[in-house]
Amino acid sequence: MSKPKVRKQSLNKNAAKANYYKILNKIFFPKSFFAFVIIFLNLTLPANSVLADKVKIVVTTTDLKYLAEQIGAEKVEVESMIRGFDDPHFVMTRPDFLIKMNKADMFCMIGLDLEIGWVPLLLEQSRNISIQKGQNGYCDASIGINILGKPNVAVDRSMGDLHIYGNPHYWLDPVNMIQMGFNILNNLRLVDPENEAYYKNNFLKFKDKMTQLVRSEMKNMQAHFGLKVAVFHQEFVYLASRFKFNANLSIEERPGIPPSSRYLENVIKTMNSQNIKIILISPVNNPKYAEYVASKVKGAKVLVMPTSVGALPEANTYEDCIQIILRKIREANN
């Protein structure tokens, strides 16, 4: 007789235990647990469509930072991923880049595959859909630029890190800076349409500033039109094109690849025969090759140029960069 009783008790006990687990499950693991996790994670994020006080802009280089600050002024907060003296071709990616991009309202890059080795994956991993290609917050500053250095032949890896869409160092031409500024303005219009007039006004001021810069520097450079210089990397082609000097002779045999001694001898011969006395390099280049060439050409000088804002301590603005580069060239040529 006692058996059924025990069994009943046991059953009751089991049922109670099952209920207890059910309650626990309901509390800690509701059916919509996964939905809850997703909603929670989404709620913890700042809503992207609603802007905070300032538009958060993340850019790849300091030149873009300067430019974005000129146009956005007080209404934007700009962060550059690399410093002026970093090489934009080769950047060691860091996870804090992801956080910056994750929080950004707008992302701007130089484009033309300059940042191909590090930006695409960071963009994808940023988990921020509003700065992806084609979105309002995605800005490629190279749109509308007149590109120089487009390859004339089918490009393959034997030619080094040759950019298939052309030379991406276009920001060293102040007229291109105007177009880059317009591209940033265009995105700011879409991201923060309420302040469009403010941005446009700043853009026009910046445009005037650049036009004045070109005018004054052209006058200074007029006596040096036609000057031939050598460069380490083909990054002065836009500057040379604007200010009418020739910077076609490069010490680098192939982009991104150290030159061979045979090629260096060739460069030395060319410099001697064409009386080229100036070698331009940027702080990110290995100076040894340029110094070696300069040691073999009588009277040759190696000039380290601020190719980006902050590349040298005295180059705090874009105007500083252009003025310092051109002044150094003039002084070396005198």
Partner 1 sequence: MYKHYLSALFILLCFHTSNLAENLEFQKKSDTTFANTESKRNTNSPNYKSMYETNILKNLFVSPSDYYRDEWERVSQLDASENGNVNGEQSKNPSNEIKTSNDYKYDESDLDWESQLLDELSKQEKQQSKFENSRNIASPTQVNPLTADRSVQNLMMDMSASVDMVGQWDNNKPQTTSNSLDVREAEFGFFGAIDQFGRGSLIVAAHNEGGRYFFEIHEANIIFPFISKYVNLKLGRFFLDVGRLNRIHRHDWNFTMAPIVHQRLMDAEAVEDTGAEASILFQFWNFMTTELVLGVTNGRYWGHTHTAGVNKNNPMMYAHLKNFVYLGNNWGTQFGATVMRYEIDPVTKSYRMQYGLDSVVRWNQSMLKSFILMSELWYRENRYPDELDPTTFRNNPIPMETFWGYYIMLDYQFLQQWLIGYRYDFFNVPNLRDKNGEFARNAVEGNTIQLTYKPSEFSFIRASVERRYTADFSSDFDPEFVDYRYYLQATFILGAHPAHKY
Enumerate residues 76-95 that contact partner 1 by CB under 8 A.
82-83, 86-87, 89-90, 92-95
111-150 residues near partner 1, rule: CB under 8 A:
111-112, 117-118, 120-121, 124-125, 127-129, 132-136, 138-140, 142-148, 150
Say whether residue 13 binds partner 1 (CB under 8 A): no
Among 157, 194, 197, 313, binds partner 1 (CB under 8 A): 157
Alpha helices by DSSP H, listed for the chain, are 2-28, 33-43, 62-72, 95-103, 119-125, 174-191, 196-221, 237-242, 261-274, 287-296, 318-333
DSSP 3-39: HHHHHHHHHHHHHHHHHHHHHHHHHHS-TTHHHHHHH
> What's the token pair of residue 319?
């105007």
Return the residues of window 203-232 that contact partner 1 according to CB under 8 A: 211, 214-215, 218, 222-228
Residue choice 58, 67, 172, 178 for contact with partner 1 (CB under 8 A): 178
User: From the list 256, 269, 291, 295, which residue makes contact with partner 1 (rule: CB under 8 A)?
Assistant: 256
Nearer to partner 1, 51 or 218 (CB): 218
Q: How far apart are CA 55 and CA 103, in angstroms?
A: 10
The two three-digit tokens of residue 328, written as one number = 């150094």
CB of 2 vs partner 1, minimal distance in Å: 27
Does residue 155 touch partner 1 according to CB under 8 A?
A: no
CA 273 – CA 277 distance, rounded (Å): 11
Stretch that binds partner 1, among 7-15, 64-72, 185-193, 306-314 (CB under 8 A): 185-193
CA distances from 222 to 143, 216, 245, 326 (A): 30, 10, 10, 11
- Say if CB 213 and CB 322 are below 8 A apart: yes
| Residue 250: strand pairing partners | 231
Site for partner 1 in 281-320 (CB under 8 A): 284, 286
175 sits near partner 1 (criterion: CB under 8 A): yes
Instruction: Count Cα atoms within 13 angstroms, Cβ side, for 252.
Output: 22
Residue 261 CB, shortest distance to partner 1, in Å, is 14
The CB density around residue 212, as the number of other CB atoms within 10 Å, is 12
Residues 24-53 that bind partner 1 (CB under 8 A): 38, 41-42, 44-46, 48
Site residues (CB under 8 A) for partner 1, limited to 92-111: 92-96, 98-99, 102, 111
Nearer Cβ to partner 1 (203/318): 203
Nearer to partner 1, 14 or 146 (CB): 146
